[in-house]
Every structure is written in structure tokens, then in C-alpha cells.
Amino acid sequence: MAINFCKESNIFKLDTYSSTYIFGIFEGNYLVHYYYGAPIPDTDVSALWLRPWFASFCPDSPSARIPNFSPDVTPLEYSTFGAGDFRLSAFAVENSEGNKVTDLRYISHKIYDGKKSLPGLPSLYTNEDSEAQTLEILTEDKVTGVKATLIYTVFEKKGAITRSVKVENPTEKPFYIDTIHSLCVDLPGYDYDMLGLYGRWVKERSLDRYPLHHGIQSIKSKRGSSSHNHNPFTALVSKNATEDYGDCYGFNLVYSSNFSIDVEVDGFASSRLVMGINPEGFKWLLNPGEEFYSPEAVMIYTNKGIGEMSRMFHRLYSDNLVRGKWKKAKRPLLINNWEGTGMSFDHDKLVSFAHHAKDMGIEMLVMDDGWFGKRDDDKSSLGDWFVADYKLKYGLSGLIKEVNALGLKFGIWFEPEMISPDSEIYRAHPDWCLHTEGRDKSIARTQYVIDYSRKEVRDHIYSMMYKILSENNIDYVKWDFNRNLTEVSCAELPKERQGEVFHRFVLGTYEIMDRLTRDFPHLLLENCSGGGGRFDPGMLYYSPQIWTSDNTDPIERLTIQFGTSLCYPASTMGAHVSASRRASYETKKNVALWGSFGYELDPDKLTEEEKAEIKEQVKEYHKYYDVIHYGELYRLITPFENEFKVAWEFVSEDKKEALVTVVNMRQPYDSLFFLKLKALDPEKIYEIEETGEEYSGAYLMNAGLNLTHKPNGDGASYLIHLLAK
Ligand code: GLA
């Protein structure tokens, strides 16, 4: 059993193969947190709550008058505002009397097999009930009657626990939810480094690592998306943690809008982490009889290092987050016209793309931005989702027919949450974009954001998409989102509900993505937000792959892909070979092979030699697909630690195959290079396919491959393919 409740000690024990998580019902029905870390068998853990305590400034609780207990210092399972705990609050409501004092205490609990989905929100799922167990703890604020259910699902074989919170209003009076985090974790001590993935457009998800310090450290977004700038991921790792060694607590929020991760180190050197919807700009009115669900948070613990934490996220997301036809099926090899043509294309140009693509063995043509309305640049037509006949002379169906006749699938680009001021739809409905009465509307990329919190508005947009998709043979959609949200108000909601608009917006987006994937279950949906501005688990619930970055330079891509791999699997990272300036096609291919591979260039501009090279690359794509998509990733040398070269390795589950990639970012001064591989079978003999050399797994992992004489100039790269004999 993954979840056990001990009646004698009132302890809940949540066990996975890599972790134990313990909390209990304490005096006064407080929920006290005891332990999260490597597996322990004990159920008597009562000593673990004790903390230093100084009576004058640490309030006593009238309902738990036992020595040394104060809500100010005791580790609490789900902290609340204003009733004696001065540290970070996970939850606060403003009640009908206008005060925010909130104090949740245990009422009851239930344990069941499997996992429920969260209404309207993306969340992890079980394929079979036996994969996970769920614990629901009902808590109540006695004074206001507010009820909150803390929901924990334990994926025992994945080393993961998911958490979310359901709030109900069973009273006669409305209240506001002011703060609702999805998880709260108290850890003794602060001897940890905090990891984060920061960045910006074309430089997403670089790794940051810094020691925790007293006070609050945060990672947040208030852009209306998870953002290029900060990812809803963090990990607390022991100071000596490396890829292969050390304690790692990984946290990720299944949410695509404003999020907040705070870690507070208090005066007694305890650390508290809370993660959830960013409270800034959020306020939700809960009327009598209504309920509200927080997004889901994922926690993973391992004492086997940062690399293992990543692989645990990868396994969990591949099996229990990504869904639908393309979850495990081989994705079609695509060519996208964006970097090749921008918006300057027509029927003949795309047909020419398709002919070349067919010739090179590519399986799908994706028509990017510029096929609709009067779209010749980024200044018009978003929202006018009807075909630009002046570009596509035989219409969309005429184009698709020709592409299909060549044996290629066809994909199309949409940006469904956006509207251009210069568009028919905007002229007809100028109030459909997000705006605040009396204020200028900020414009970005010459576009406004459609108010997706309004059902009739998103229904209208979806009906246009539906028409295109149901009348044509389309296999793939790229869903883009090219700016962030400003002047976030809703023309239809009353003033007391304006604090809900950010969240209602993303719920609207999720609703349309849900309809899209239900109505067209065969579709391969690829999310995108100016590259990787919405690369988060919320989006992965709807789309099995996300365009990782608009930066397709293979050297720049290295930090982006290494950072992204901290918690997202290779199969989710869209990665294309482009005509970008730096590096050879060889290196572009070697880097793009890491993800869901494709091309992003104008094949008319390729030389015959380059086309021949691409034909060979296509063969490699097929050859290595399984080990990359279904194998396990080992980061051997990362760009965050080495400014000259990087290396990574995929190993098949049965350890019979491994693919190693080495890329020189810059030519190193010293050229001695031994590369130790990982996760091979020490007993097996592996043959290096290119040279026929044979080595034991033990040799390869302990002595390492001597790669001193391999190419090491700027931008050089190579693959090493190993097969067990
Ligand atoms: C974004 C995407 C690109 C491309 C353009 C089209 O920037 O990330 O891949 O689709 O929009 O406008």
C-alpha cells in the first residue's frame, strides 16, 4: 500500500520506491508535517515536529496547549494566514466580515485506488487504478465554515506524489480565495541549493543554481503564461548534489498561467516551499455552494542526483501526463516552412516544398503563419481564420490534396488566443480583446489578446478552427501564443470577479484545447509560444510536443535543450534542423535529434549535396528514434559546467543500445578527452558501430572512451552508437 494511516499515532505515511512522506493529525486537529525524504520504515516519528520555541513571540494555540507547540515554528502541512503561523501562507480566504484570518484543521479523510482528474484543469492520470493511490483530507475553518480538501496521489513506482486542493463553500455567505497554493512542504534546515529555469525569448530555460538564504526566494510569472522567463519548476538539492549523487526534491506545477514558487528560510533555519497560482492579481469569489480546484503540483524525491530526478520526471510525464494517439506512437518527420519563407509563400511554393520533402523522405509538411485573412506580415488578420485565396489559389483543400497525393501528411498553424487590430473580427467585435476601460491597450507584435474568459468569444474562434479542421485532411496543428497578457479585465464580469480573469483565461484555453483534442483525436498538437514560452506540464496534457525555442542555432540550442531536459522528456521537445548560420548540417542534425525531430528551411535553397546529406539524416532519424524517444537520458557534460563541449547519452531500457552525442561549442585548448559513459551493463560487451571497436560496459563507464582524436573544432560534433553483442 502506498498510503497508510496509523490510527494509534494518527500518522499518514505516503511511500514510493524512492521516498517517504509523513504527516499527521496533531493536538487540536492541526495537520503537522513530519518528514519528506528517502524511504524510512518507522511510524513513530513524533519527535520530528519539535523546533526551537520562544514563548514571547511565538503564539500558543489555545486548542493545542502542549509545551513547545506553536503554529509559528511547527512544520505545518498546509499553512494558513493570520492564526499564528507567520511564515509563508499556502492558503488564505477573505471572509464575509472582510478579514483574512484562516485556520484549517483536520475533519476526516479517505483513501482510494487510482486518481480523479481535476475539473477543467490538466492533471496527471493513471492508466490503471493500481498505478496510484489517492488520499483526500477534508479540513475546515471552524469560524467561517470554509472547507478545503487536500488531495495527494502517490505514484509508488514513479517516486512521485501529486497534490492539489479543492475548496468548497458550504456556508450561506460568499468569501474570496486570496491565496491558494497547490502544495506546501516544510523541510528542516536550509542546506540546499535551489534550481530554477530562467530565460527569455530565444534563450529559454537556462539553469540557475544558488544556495538558499534566510528570507524568501521566489520564481514567478505574472505574464498570463508560464513564460520564457521562468518555468514553473524548481528543485531543492543538497549542496553537493551532482547529476549522479545527492538529495533532490523536484517540484513542477501543472499550470500554464501566473504561477508562484516561494521558499522561505525562517529564523530557525527551517525551509518552507509553497507553489501554486501566483496570488498577485488573483482573487476568486466563491459563492455558497460553489467549489474551486487549485492546479496540480508534482513532487519527486530521489537521493540519486539531479540526473535521476530528471529521468523520474521523464518517465512520469511520458506515462501519466502526455495522452492520446501520439503518446507513444512514432511522430511523423516534418518540415515547417516558417524559417524558410516567413509569410511569403503561395500554393506553388508549398507544393515545391512537398516535392523536395517527399524526395528526402520527410513525412509531413507544416504550413506555418500567413495562410489566412490578408496576412503578409505580423500586422494583420489574427482571428480571421479563413483561407487567404490570393496565396492558396486552389484553396486549402486543393493544396492538401496535392501534398497528400505525394504521400505526405499536412499540418497547419493557428494562434487562437490572439486578434490583430487590423482584422475583420476585430472590426466587428472591438470589445473581444482583453482591455481595461479608460486605459490604452498595450500592443505587442501588433496584436491583442482575445478574452478567453468569455465563453461566446472562444466558442466563436473555435467554430472557425473547427470548420478548417473538419473540412480538410489535417494531421497536425501548431498552436501558437505570441505575446503576454496586459490590461487583464473582463468586460462581462462584475467588479468583484475581476481578480479571476487570469485564471479564467487559462481555463478557457484549456477548454478549447480539450475540445480540439476530443473532436480531432488523430491530430498531433504541437504547442508553441514564440518558441518555448509555454513549455509546461499543463500544455503537455494536451500536446505531446512543444516547440522548444525559436532559436534553432544548434550551439545556442544546447543550453535550451539541456535546461528543458531538467524535467521534460526528449519526446516533448520540438527540435528542427534549420538553415541557421552557425555550424554544419551534421551538427544541426545531431542537436535536433535530441527532441521531436524535423526541418525548418527552404529546400529550394539546398544544394544537391545538402539534399543528399539530409536523405542520410532521415535514415539516422529512423534508426535512432526508439533509443531517443523511449530510452533514458544521461547528461554527461552540460553547458552549465563546461564552456567548451557538451555530451549526452540515451540508453535503451534493456541497456543493449546507447547513443552518445558530443558537441564542441568552442575548440578547447587542451585536447585530451576521455568520456565516461553511464548506465551501461558492466558485464556486456558493446560494439561501437562506426569503428567496430569492442569494449565492456565496465570499461566504457570506468576508463571511458578516449575521444582525444575526434574532431574538436568550433561547432564540430559526432555521434557514437553502441550495440551490445
Ligand atoms: C512564433 C513561433 C514561430 C512561428 C512564428 C509565426 O514566433 O514560435 O515558430 O510559428 O510565431 O508567426
CA-based Rg of the chain, rounded to a whole angstrom?
27
| pLDDT, mean of residues 27-53 | 93
Residue nearest to atom 7 of ligand 1 (CA): 530
pLDDT tens column, 117-156? 999 999 999 999 999 999 999 999 999 999 999 999 999 9
Centre of ligand 1 from the C-alpha of residue 482, in Å: 7
What does the mean pLDDT of the chain come to? 97
| Residue in this structure with the C-alpha cell 532519424, named with its chain if needed | 621
User: Ligand 1 mean position to 501 CA, how many Å?
Assistant: 26
Residue 685: the pLDDT is 98
Average pLDDT over residues 522-530: 98
**Ligand 1 centre and the CA of 369: distance in Å?**
7
- Ligand 1: residue whose CA is nearest its atom 4: 338
Q: How confident is the model at residue 668, as a pLDDT?
A: 80
Element (H, E) at 372: none
Pocket test for ligand 1, best of 482, 527, 546, 578 (most atoms within 8 A of CB): 482
Cα–ligand 1 centroid distance for 545 (angstroms): 15
Residue 342 Cα to ligand 1 middle (Å) = 9
Residue whose CA is closest, atom 12 of ligand 1? Answer: 369
Half-sphere exposure of 589 (CA within 13 A, CB side): 19
pLDDT at 55 (0 to 100):
75
Quick one: pLDDT at residue 417? 98
User: Average pLDDT in the 647-673 region?
Assistant: 93
Span 631-648, pLDDT tens digits: 999 999 999 999 999 999
**Span from the CA of 551 to the centroid of ligand 1 (angstroms):** 11
Task: Cell numbers for 316, please give them.
Answer: 512520469
C-beta neighbour count of 489 within 10 angstroms: 16
Residue 413 CA to ligand 1 centre (angstroms): 9
CA nearest ligand 1 atom 6, residue: 369
For the chain, give the percent of residues with pLDDT over 70. 100
Cα 564 versus chain centre, distance: 9
DSSP per-residue string spanning 185-253? EEES---EEEEEEEEETTEEEEEEEEE--SEEEEEE--SSSS-SSEEEEEEEEETT--SSSB-EEEEEE
Higher-pLDDT residue of 671 and 391 is 391
Q: How far is the CA of 565 from the centre of ligand 1 (A)?
A: 22
Residues within 6 Å of ligand 1 by CB: 338, 368-369, 413, 480, 482, 528, 530-531, 547, 550
- Determine the atom of ligand 1 nearest the C-alpha atom of 413: 10
C-alpha cell at 501: 480573469
Helix axes 501-519, 455-471, angle to 10 degrees: 20
Q: What is the structure's pLDDT at 62?
A: 85
Closest CA to 600 of 337, 331, 332, 333: 337
For the cut 90, the answer to whether the pLDDT of residue 582 exceeds it is no
pLDDT of residue 391: 98
Q: Is the pLDDT of residue 56 over 90?
A: no
And the C-alpha cell for 5? 494511516
Which residue puts its alpha carbon closest to atom 2 of ligand 1?
Answer: 530
Read off the pLDDT of residues 66-122 as tens digits, 9 standing for 90 and up.
Answer: 888 999 999 999 999 999 999 999 999 999 899 999 999 999 999 999 999 999 999
The predicted structure's pLDDT at residue 67? 85
Q: pLDDT tier at 422 (50, 70, 90 boundaries)?
A: very high
What value does the mean pLDDT take over residues 476-481?
Answer: 98
Q: For residue range 213-265, what is the model confidence (pLDDT) as tens digits? A: 999 999 999 999 999 999 999 999 999 999 999 999 999 999 999 999 999 99
Angle at CA of residue 560, ends 231 and 523, nearest 5°: 75
In terms of Cα–Cα distance, which of 289, 30, 29, 296 is closest to 175? 289
447 DSSP 8-state letter: B
Phi, psi (rounded to 5 degrees) for 181? -90, 155
Asked if 275 and 340 count as a contact pair (C-beta separation under 8 A), the reply is no
> Given 319, 550, 553, 602, which residue is catalytic?
550
Mutate to test the pocket of ligand 1, among 200, 204, 335, 369 (most ligand atoms within 8 A of CB): 369
Please give the pLDDT value at position 1.
Answer: 87
* Pocket perturbation via mutation, ligand 1, pick of 367, 380, 413 by most ligand atoms within 8 A of CB: 413
Cα angle at 190 between 187 and 192, to 5 degrees? 100
Beta strands in 266-408 (DSSP E): 271-277, 284-286, 291-293, 296-302, 334-336, 364-367
**Residue 670 designated active-site:** no
Q: How far apart are CA 454 and CA 703, in angstroms?
A: 62
Cβ(459)–Cβ(432) below 8 Å: no
Cα distance between residue 313 and residue 305, in whole Å:
13
Domains of the chain and CATH, by start: 3-320 (2.70.98.60), 635-724 (2.60.40.1180)
Which pLDDT value is given to residue 52?
84
Give the CB-side neighbour count of residue 512, counting CA atoms within 13 A. 26
Q: Whose CA is nearest to atom 3 of ligand 1?
A: 530
Q: Report which of 143, 165, 139, 140 is spatially closest to residue 96, judged by C-alpha positions.
A: 143
- Average pLDDT, integer, range 284-303: 98
Give the span between the Cα atoms of 464 and 120, in whole angstroms.
22
- Give yes or no for a contact between 649 and 634, defined as CB atoms under 8 angstroms apart: yes
| Residue 65 pLDDT | 81
- Catalytic residue status for 480: yes
Mean pLDDT, range 401-425, rounded to an integer:
98
Q: Alpha carbon of 287 to those of 38, 101, 110, 486, 619: distances in Å?
A: 42, 18, 26, 27, 60
Average pLDDT for 680-691: 97
CA-nearest residue for atom 8, ligand 1, is 530
Residue 580: its pLDDT value, please?
82
Q: What is the pLDDT of residues 329-378, one digit of tens each?
A: 999 999 999 999 999 999 999 999 999 999 999 999 999 999 999 999 99
Q: How far is the CA of 624 from the centre of ligand 1 (A)?
A: 28
Task: State percent of the chain over pLDDT 90.
Answer: 95
Q: Ligand 1 test: best mutation among 412, 480, 560, most atoms within 8 Å of CB? A: 480
Specify whether the CB–CB gap between 475 and 364 falls below 8 A: yes
What pLDDT is attached to residue 567?
97
CB 450 within 8 A of CB 434: yes
- pLDDT of residue 670 exceeding 80: no
Residue of 319, 369, 480, 602 marked active site: 480
- CA-nearest residue for atom 11, ligand 1, is 530
**Hey, which of 484, 528, 535 would you mutate to test ligand 1's pocket, going by the most ligand atoms within 8 Å of its Cβ?**
528
